């Protein structure tokens, strides 16, 4: 599976707002679309449970289905496709089985772009309140 974050990365002064030139935190014009796919994938409680299971260990498709007994196999596979499209899950064939694992870089990109900035703003606000 190809990873679109690495293609077309730009450094300072190029399209996008990034200064490091690092393909993991600064990327192609597709970053917004990639982020949208990640947020969409994380919006579902079932997909978040799948990611939690994959965070613990590599799973086969069958063992991933066993983590969600309330869902039929077809539904689990549909959720899996959404996770793969967002590059959150990678799979490789081993004989007749597919071994699935978590690909954490899209979540790190979301953290670096969104969460860490808001976290720093909150810390700065608390510092200002403490100075009063």
How confident is the prediction along the chain (132 residues), in pLDDT tens digits per residue?
444 443 333 332 333 333 333 334 444 557 778 889 999 999 999 999 999 999 999 999 999 999 999 999 999 999 999 999 999 999 999 999 999 999 989 988 888 887 877 888 888 888 888 776
What counts of helices (H) and strands (E) characterise the chain?
Answer: 6, 3
The whole-model pTM stands at 0.67
Closest by CA to 43, choosing from 70, 13, 82, is: 82
Q: How far apart are CA 107 and CA 124, in angstroms?
A: 24
Distance CA 106, CA 51 (A): 12
Q: How far apart are CA 81 and CA 105, in angstroms?
A: 17
Domain annotation for the chain: domains and CATH numbers: 23-131 (1.10.10.10)
Residue 122 has a CB neighbour count (10 Å cut-off) of: 10
The whole-angstrom separation of Cα 4 and Cα 43 is 21
Q: What is the pLDDT of residue 123?
A: 84
Q: How many CB atoms are located within 10 Å of the residue 26 CB?
A: 23
């Amino acid at each position: 599976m190809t990873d679109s974050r690495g293609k077309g990365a730009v450094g300072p002064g190029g399209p996008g707002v990034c200064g490091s030139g690092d393909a993991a935190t600064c990327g192609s014009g597709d970053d917004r679309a990639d982020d949208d796919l990640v947020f969409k994938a994380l919006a579902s409680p079932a997909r978040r449970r799948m990611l939690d299971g994959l965070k613990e260990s590599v799973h086969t498709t069958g063992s991933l289905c066993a983590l969600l007994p309330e869902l039929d196999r077809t539904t689990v596979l549909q959720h899996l496709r959404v996770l793969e499209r967002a590059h959150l899950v990678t799979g490789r064939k081993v004989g007749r089985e597919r071994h699935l694992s978590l690909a954490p870089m899209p979540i790190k990109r979301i953290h670096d772009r969104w969460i860490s900035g808001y976290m720093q703003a909150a810390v700065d606000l608390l510092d200002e309140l403490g100075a009063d």
